[in-house]
Amino acid sequence: MTSMKILGALLLSWVTTGAMAHAHLQKAVPADGAVVTASPANVVLSFSEPAHLTAFWIQKDDGVKQKIGPLAPEPARQITIPLPQLAPGTYVVSWRVLGDDSHIVPGQIRFTVAAGTAAEKH
Ligand SMILES: [Cu+2]
């Protein structure tokens, strides 16, 4: 009986710790590796739990990493970051989020804005 109680307590603590896991990226729009036909207005990041975006950068091809801001001060599971107008090319956006468990989790996605569509944009 005692060993069952210990096992139960161990299981319970494992489950509780699992619930405190850090904020994992579940979805990004545009998706990693996406090719889009027009400059996306936003990047939308969805996390496994509320996350506070502390930094966000965009880098075109081999260009300079450009910091984007200001960022939303509230932690959220879904974060929308407005982008500037993007010329055709390949971009890497990277970020850092702070989860509820105070762990900082960096992430990045790469996407391509296809050439030949920028002129049609209004
Ligand atoms: Cu964590």
Is residue 32, in this structure, part of any structural domain at all? Answer: yes
Mean pLDDT to the nearest integer, 112-122? 68
Q: What is the pTM of this model?
A: 0.77
- The answer to whether residue 21 scores a pLDDT higher than 80 is no
CA 79 to chain centre: 8
Distance from the alpha carbon of residue 29 to the mean position of ligand 1, in angstroms = 23
The span from the CA of 104 to the CA of 49, in Å, is 13
Q: Structural domain tally of the chain? A: 1
Q: Is the model's pLDDT at 76 over the cut of 60?
A: yes
Output the CA 65–ligand 1 centroid distance in Å: 26
Mean pLDDT value of segment 33-38: 96
Distance 106 CA to ligand 1 centre (A): 11
**Which domain CATH number covers 105?**
2.60.40.1220
Range of the domain at 81: 22-120
DSSP structural state of residue 118? G
Confidence of residue 88 (pLDDT cuts 50, 70, 90): very high
Cα distances (Å, whole numbers) of residue 21 to 18, 24, 67, 80, 101: 5, 8, 28, 22, 7
Decide if 8 is inside a domain: no
Measured in Å, residue 16 CA sits from the centre of ligand 1 at 13
Asked if the structure places residue 1 within a domain, the reply is: no
- Assigned domain for 13 exists: no
In a domain, 68, yes or no: yes
Q: % helix / strand / coil in the chain, to the nearest 5?
A: 15, 45, 35
- Answer yes or no: is 65 within a domain: yes
Is 7 part of a structural domain of the chain?
Answer: no
CA of 122 to the centre of ligand 1 (A): 42
**Burial tier of 118 (Cβ tally within 10 Å: 0-12, 13-18, 19+):** middle
Q: Do the domain assignments include residue 95?
A: yes
